[in-house]
Amino acid sequence: MSDKSVPARPTIDLRSFTPARVALGRTGASVPTKALLDFTLDHARARDAVHAAFDAPRLLADLGALGLAVTEARSQAVDRRDYLRRPDLGRRLEPGSVEVLTRAASAPCQLALVIGDGLSAAAVHAHAAALVKRLLPLLAEGDSVALGQVVVASGARVALGDEIGAILGARMVVTLIGERPGLSAPDSLGAYLTFAPKPGRTDAERNCVSNIHEAGLSYDEAAFKIAWLVREGLARQVSGVALKDESADRAPRRIGTFPPG
């Protein structure tokens, strides 16, 4: 059979569809120098994101500009080194913060919003305030969801939101937190929703909206999903594996592209 009888196979530039490391090429038994240098740079950015300091005053100012009254709290992790070595300390509030939040809990609320540094403070600095700005009007639509306390938490793991939500008497808590940095996204933000929050909740009892960053889920898409899950979770009194994300069935045909800042 001649080669002419074999139809030509179209080539696809996979790199135009994803920032992932695909179709890197080859030089001998290794990757090209540029691919190696890019990998080294992205690895350094991921490491820097994990160790970066959390600028809580900056976030407090950004949220205050949205007209929100914000309470500050911190976990039992005394510093970043402690936080990385002892994940359990990031899941519980330090005693002073328990007192502050207890005083702030004037009445039970439908929804508490917690914003924590997590494993990428850079993600929170870059995206949290802009996402909250998109989320607030969606919560106010139709049968509005009353947003109670907003808490900025330092040294936070996801589960810290459960204790905060329980102290504030929230029916549901949304925790916005920096996700573990990857080689293609050192500044990815995640949102975790838990109905009836209390210490001891498991990941199976939460819903997650992840990969909120410039090359991932846009602010508008993420805000729409979060608002939908909040409303459905409150209506059905569940979250996690009992609450399937069907927001795509209700989404507008076109949701805005990822905006700057």
CATH assignment at residue 205: 3.40.50.11240
109 in a labelled binding site: no
Number of H helices, E strands in the chain: 7, 6
**What is the per-residue pLDDT for 107?**
82
Q: State the SS3 of 61-126.
A: HHHHCCCCCEEEEEECCCCHHHHHHCHHHHHCECHHHHHHHHHHCCCCEEEEEEEECCCCHHHHHH
**Number of C-beta neighbours around residue 246 at 10 A:** 11
Please give the tally of structural domains in the chain.
Answer: 1
Closest CA to 38 of 58, 22, 61, 14: 22
179 in a labelled binding site: yes
**What is the per-residue pLDDT for 48?**
84
Residue 211 domain boundaries = 54-249
**What is the per-residue pLDDT for 249?**
74
Closest CA to 18 of 254, 184, 176: 184
Closest CA to 210 of 182, 250, 235: 182
Q: With a cut of 70, which residues of the chain have pLDDT below it? A: 1-12, 19, 250-261
- Prediction pTM value: 0.85
Which residues make Cβ contacts (< 8 Å) with residue 238, sequence separation at least 6? 195
Any domain includes 30:
no
Any domain includes 84:
yes
Any domain includes 46:
no
User: How far is residue 107 from each of residues 52, 77, 81, 150, 152, measured CA to CA in Å?
Assistant: 36, 28, 36, 14, 19
Any domain includes 14:
no
246 in a labelled binding site: no
CA distance 74 to 55: 13
Any domain includes 41:
no
Q: Spell out a b/e string for 94-130, using b for 16 or more CB atoms within 10 Å of the CB, else e.
A: beebeebbeeebeeebebbbbbbbbbbbbbbbbbbbb
Closest CA to 160 of 125, 115, 190: 115
**Strand ranges in 101-241 using DSSP code E only, listed in sequence order:** 109-116, 147-154, 170-178, 189-195, 206-212
Any domain includes 36:
no
Which residues make Cβ contacts (< 8 Å) with residue 144, sequence separation at least 6? none
CA distance 134 to 227: 10
